[in-house]
């Protein structure tokens, strides 16, 4: 691939995000906007997690994201002051731009920028990690550019305004550092991901197996110790008493999410069976909660994935295992949201550099993921698409295809094939 094509693709990916980031107002954007405003105005994190914030849901994310939006809000205010001074001193300055910038929609759009920047950071790490894993440079470049250009990734950050690319950046960095034999830093990076959003923990079993196989368990232990120290430092301003015990309880207590449903608009096994009704995770089957059935199924597949990774434990099987652990989590664990497939998609982007079959599967799963993101939010509203993807039969076909791809790739993992 020529440098011109790469630069053109990067420019196109940037334009896509610029075109969409001023628009879209998901309720998540409301939360991010009012959380950041509250923190900047109060300049006090004490008791913030779990606190009811005006016009927003209670804060339940891990702490790194709140420190990030606090600093980002300060940067937003600083730019606002600079723009105002330019407006006063320069007669030709477009004054209306200040009103747009200071509006609610302007603040929401500004909050999307860190995730957009993280998109490009993820693409860079996908390229570097794919090369280290054994992919050809041109194939790795195609994979990283596809990550930027395929709709679920720019839709997620630029239109929806979600932050999945931020935690994914640290997961991808952990893979890169591992392949550079910097196991201590890799563990620390994985911990940073978990302190942005816990969804990245889906890949943790694959890292544990790889570290054990490489006899790098002490690096993992030291990394975990540094992570615990960092967690203490980050949680202390929020809860200065009994900090680590409280943080542990709050962190894992937040896994239930905002709603205790078996699936929350996730194209997975449970939605395939029951549709998209708000079925409680504790609903019984043969006297056992469906959530426990989900953990049992995941444990079975997780055992299979772990066995074949341990059997080989090379870079390719490590990546494949991390992808399959994330995929199985999304398909079978309870309380999954549509966005939680992002971890699997980011790892699959690396694997797509190995051959065309993996590339096609990456594109197929990305498009299904995009439909899942569009489903129920319906933004932008396109009546034909809304009608098509409101049809449960159509959705079940897509979910079945997704599960069939999982089965195919699990079998490929067992046979030591890439696809």
Helix, strand, or coil (residue 95): coil
Q: Quick one: which H or E segment has residue 114? A: helix 104-133
| Encoded tokens for 165 | 């690319």
pLDDT for res 115: 97
| Confidence (pTM) | 0.95
| Encoded tokens for 223 | 């990394």
pLDDT tens per residue, range 106-122: 999 999 999 999 999 99
Which residue is listed with tokens 């640290």? 170
Range name among 15-24, 131-140, 248-257 with the lowest pLDDT average: 248-257
Q: How confident is the model at residue 226 (pLDDT cuts 50, 70, 90)?
A: confident
Distance CA 410, CA 325 (A): 10
Task: Compute the Cα dihedral for 130, 134, 137, 139 and give only its sign.
Answer: negative
Q: How many Cβ atoms sit within 10 Å of the Cβ of residue 363?
A: 13
Contact 38, 28 (CB under 8 A): no
Range name among 144-153, 164-173, 215-224, 376-385 with the lowest pLDDT average: 215-224
pLDDT tens per residue, range 140-177: 999 999 999 999 999 999 999 999 999 999 999 999 99
Which phi and psi angles does 95 have, rounded to 5°?
A: -60, -35
Distance CA 401, CA 367 (A): 12
168 Cβ partners below 8 Å, 6+ apart?
118, 122, 193, 200, 342, 343, 346
Distance CA 183, CA 177 (A): 7
Distance CA 109, CA 23 (A): 7
Helix, strand, or coil (residue 127): helix
Distance CA 203, CA 190 (A): 9
pLDDT for res 259: 67
């Amino acid at each position: 691939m020529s440098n011109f094509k790469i630069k053109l693709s990067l420019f196109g990916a940037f334009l896509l995000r610029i075109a969409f980031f001023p628009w879209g107002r998901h309720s998540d954007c409301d939360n991010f906007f009012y959380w950041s405003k509250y923190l900047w105005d109060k300049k006090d994190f004490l008791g913030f997690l779990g606190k009811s914030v005006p016009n927003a849901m209670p804060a339940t994310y891990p702490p790194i994201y709140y420190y990030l939006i606090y600093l980002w809000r300060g940067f937003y205010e600083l730019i606002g002051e600079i723009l105002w001074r330019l407006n006063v001193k320069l007669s030709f300055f477009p004054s209306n731009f200040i009103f747009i910038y200071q509006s609610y929609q302007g603040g929401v759009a500004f909050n999307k920028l860190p995730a957009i920047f993280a998109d490009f950071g993820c693409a860079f790490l996908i390229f570097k990690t794919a090369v280290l894993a054994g992919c050809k440079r041109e194939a790795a470049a195609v994979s990283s550019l596809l990550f930027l250009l395929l709709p679920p990734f720019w839709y997620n950050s630029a239109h929806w305004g979600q932050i999945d690319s931020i935690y994914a950046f640290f997961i991808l960095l952990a893979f890169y550092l591992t392949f550079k034999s910097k196991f201590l830093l890799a563990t620390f990076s994985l911990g940073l991901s978990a302190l942005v959003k816990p969804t990245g923990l889906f890949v943790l079993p694959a890292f544990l197996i790889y570290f054990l196989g490489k006899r790098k368990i002490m690096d993992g232990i030291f990394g975990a110790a540094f992570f615990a120290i960092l967690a203490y430092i980050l949680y202390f301003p929020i809860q200065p008493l009994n900090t680590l015990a409280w943080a542990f309880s709050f962190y894992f207590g937040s896994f239930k999410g905002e709603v205790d449903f078996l699936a929350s608009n996730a194209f997975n096994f449970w939605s395939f069976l029951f549709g998209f009704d708000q079925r409680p995770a504790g609903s019984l089957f043969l006297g056992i909660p469906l959530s426990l059935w989900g953990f049992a199924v995941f444990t079975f597949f997780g055992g299979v994935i772990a066995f074949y990774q341990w059997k080989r434990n090379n870079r390719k099987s490590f990546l494949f295992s991390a992808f399959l652990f994330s995929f199985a989590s999304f398909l079978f664990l309870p309380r999954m949201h549509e966005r939680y497939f992002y971890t699997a998609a980011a790892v699959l982007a690396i694997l797509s550099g190995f051959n065309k079959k993996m590339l096609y599967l990456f594109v197929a799963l990305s498009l299904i993921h995009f439909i899942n993101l569009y489903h129920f939010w319906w933004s932008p509203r396109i009546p034909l698409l809304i009608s098509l993807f409101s049809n449960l039969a159509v959705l079940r076909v897509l979910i079945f295809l997704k599960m069939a791809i999982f089965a195919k790739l699990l079998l490929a993992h067992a046979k030591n094939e890439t696809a």
